[in-house]
């Protein structure tokens, strides 16, 4: 089946193969939502082993959402589509620090109590690791599950 | 060296020069202790916020402050304070920092001292945060090694609960600054956390691991023993599997180096047989004493006393 071009919205390309559903999770898109979304999974790619693609109509992503996607798919590209044209195209950039986006997995971390703080993680690359600035616990797996 | 109003959260934050500076000041404090007391911190107030039981850390800070002519504010029991009403740590710190010149915090949650430093207008001293860090214990440990052994070219074995033991996490980071040859000895369930071993590797530390204590006893200058901490185990049956995994007895000391020393942050339970106490190798009670000059040194430094 051929997926038609979208008039306005966002195409997220070069998502790491198998991560498309986690991208939808990050964007809060569930099966019951009314958003018009196209998903291609495990598509052959010249630059990576395989890639996923997500097209979302009538929505441009917020920076916070782009930062979250970078944590699970650091090579993803964001294409903003306006009137069938690519109005903006850029790679996601892995931030040095993420705040208030990921919950620390250490149940004894002070950030998991009722203190008036937000979670803070230092981000390290290759492979992606998140280090809690409070308890120093390092997260390397299932990052998408922690939003 | 300028330390003024600095938070003391983790040994990872210290350079070797800074540690040496504190240990050098501790020697002066030990000399001062021999001559009685002083008024170097007269008019200064140290607040003690202990959310967990403590004997040595709390009382040695109290002794250090009193020996320097300073005063203490003590939170007392949690049940008798606003903590029992559900006050956040952040609010408690905001308030207590307006009453005092520095705060010693012991808290069961990892990262609590880091959080406190964000809300405090005075230096926070981490007196132990869950299974995280215990930097002032490390300062007295290093001071003990300096006084009773040597910090250069050190061969040290760290034994026991390396997973939950905050004292050994801090100690390993600090020893990495001295190029020590560190052997980690623990049951498989209680090995040093992977991220700390990775950090130590990045810092160029010489680290090896074994379960067999006997085979390395003849190769070390310092045997650092820790308690298997029942209170840190989520599952009591897991604790029973490893409790008593290592016990230091006179037999174990037969072939050690003549000047090898045994240390323990105390309290001990089963790890060191009391028959070892009179051995010339046993230095854990001296180690406990060294907490006072080490903490006197730290207090004078962060409260800006020049000497």
Please tell me the distance in Å from A130's CA to the nearest CA on chain B.
Answer: 11
pLDDT tens readout for residues B179-192: 999 999 999 989 99
First to last CA, chain B: 11
What would the mean pLDDT of B97-108 be, rounded to a whole number? 97
Contact B110 A115 (CB under 8 A): no
**Cβ(B221)–Cβ(B261) below 8 Å:** yes
Structure tokens at A15: 């998502």
- Mean pLDDT for A44-56 is 89
> What is the rounded average pLDDT for all residues in chain A?
90
pLDDT band (50, 70, 90) for residue B82 = low
Query: pTM, whole model, 2 decimals?
Result: 0.90
Q: Is 90 exceeded by the pLDDT of residue B224? A: yes
Least confident of A43-47, B168-172, B218-222: A43-47
The pLDDT tens digits for A92-125 are 999 999 999 889 999 999 999 999 999 999 999 8
Distance of residue B38 Cα from the nearest chain A Cα, in angstroms: 37
Average pLDDT over residues B299-306: 94
Q: Residue A144: which pLDDT band, with cuts at 50, 70 and 90?
A: low
Using CA atoms, how far apart are residues B11 and B15, in angstroms rounded to an integer? 9
> Does the pLDDT of residue B108 top 80, yes or no?
yes
Does the pLDDT value for residue A147 go beyond 70? no
The model's pLDDT over B23-76, given as tens digits with 9 standing for 90+, comes to 999 999 999 999 887 999 999 999 999 998 889 999 999 999 999 999 999 987
Smallest CA-to-CA distance from B118 within A8, A134, A29 is with A134
- The predicted pLDDT at position A34 comes to 81
- In chain B, what residues touch A134 (CB-CB under 8 Å)? 110-111, 114-115
Helix (H) or strand (E) holding A72: helix A63-72
**pLDDT value at position B210?**
97
Interface touch B110/A109, C-beta < 8 Å: yes
| Yes or no, beta carbons of A136 and B107 under 8 Å apart | no
Query: Residue A2 has what pLDDT?
Result: 56
Helix (H, G, I), strand (E, B), or coil: what is residue A32? coil
Is B269 part of the contact surface with chain A (CB cutoff 8 Å)?
no
Contact of B13 with chain A, judged by CB distance below 8 Å, is answered with no
| B1: pLDDT strictly greater than 80 | no
**pLDDT at B2 (0 to 100):** 75
> Is A110–B112 a contact, with Cβ atoms under 8 angstroms apart?
yes
Q: Is the pLDDT of residue A78 over 90?
A: yes
Mutate to test the interface with B, among A134, A139, A140, A141 (most CBs of B within 10 A): A134
Say if B219 is an interface residue toward chain A (CB within 8 Å).
no
A117·B118 Cβ contact <8 A? yes
Greater confidence (B288 vs A35) lies with B288
Q: Which residue has the higher pLDDT, B39 or B80?
A: B39
Residues of A engaging B, defined by a Cβ cutoff of 8 Å: 106, 108-111, 113-117, 131-138
Q: Using CA atoms, how far apart are residues B48 and B78, in angstroms rounded to an integer? A: 12
Tell me how many residue pairs between chain A and chain B have CB atoms under 8 A apart: 54
Question: In chain A, what residues touch B90 (CB-CB under 8 Å)?
Answer: 115-117
């Amino acid at each position: 089946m051929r997926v038609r071009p979208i008039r306005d919205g966002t195409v997220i390309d070069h998502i790491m193969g198998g991560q498309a559903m986690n991208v939808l999770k990050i964007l809060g898109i569930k099966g019951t939502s009314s958003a018009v979304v196209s998903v291609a999974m495990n598509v052959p790619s010249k630059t990576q082993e395989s890639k996923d693609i997500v097209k979302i109509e009538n929505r441009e992503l917020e920076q916070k959402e782009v930062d979250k996607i970078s944590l699970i798919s650091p090579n993803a590209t964001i294409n903003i589509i306006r009137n069938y044209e690519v109005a903006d195209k850029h790679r996601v950039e892995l931030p040095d620090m993420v705040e208030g986006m990921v919950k620390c997995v250490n149940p004894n971390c002070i950030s998991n109590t009722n203190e008036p703080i937000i979670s803070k993680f230092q981000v390290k690359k290759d492979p992606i690791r998140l280090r809690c600035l409070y308890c120093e616990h390092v997260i390397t797996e299932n990052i998408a599950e922690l939003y | 060296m300028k330390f003024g109003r600095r938070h003391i959260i983790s040994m990872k934050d210290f350079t070797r020069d800074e540690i040496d500076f504190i240990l050098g000041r501790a020697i002066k404090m030990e000399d001062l202790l021999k001559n009685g007391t002083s008024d170097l911190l007269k008019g200064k107030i140290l607040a003690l916020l202990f959310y967990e039981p403590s004997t040595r850390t709390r009382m040695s800070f109290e002794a250090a402050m009193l020996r320097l002519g300073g005063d203490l504010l003590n939170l007392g029991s949690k049940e008798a304070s606003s903590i029992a009403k559900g006050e956040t740590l952040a609010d408690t710190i905001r308030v207590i920092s307006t009453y005092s010149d520095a705060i010693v915090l012991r808290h069961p949650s990892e990262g609590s001292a880091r959080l406190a430093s964000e809300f405090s207008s005075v230096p926070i001293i981490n007196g132990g945060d869950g299974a995280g860090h215990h930097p002032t214990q490390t300062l007295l440990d290093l001071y003990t090694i300096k006084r009773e052994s040597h910090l250069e070219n050190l061969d040290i074995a760290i034994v026991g609960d390396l997973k939950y033991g905050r004292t050994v996490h801090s100690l390993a980071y600090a020893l990495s600054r001295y190029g020590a040859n560190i052997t980690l000895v623990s049951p498989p369930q209680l090995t040093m956390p992977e991220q700390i071993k990775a950090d130590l590797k990045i810092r160029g530390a010489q680290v090896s691991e074994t379960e067999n204590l006997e085979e390395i006893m003849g190769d070390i200058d310092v045997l650092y023993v820790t308690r298997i901490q029942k209170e840190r185990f989520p599952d009591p049956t897991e604790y029973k599997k490893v409790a008593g995994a290592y016990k230091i007895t006179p037999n174990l000391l037969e072939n050690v180096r003549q000047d090898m020393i045994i240390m323990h942050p105390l309290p001990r339970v089963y790890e060191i047989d009391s028959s070892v106490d009179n051995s010339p190798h046993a230095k854990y009670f001296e180690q406990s004493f060294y907490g006072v000059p080490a903490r006197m040194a730290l207090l004078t430094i962060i409260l800006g006393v020049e000497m």
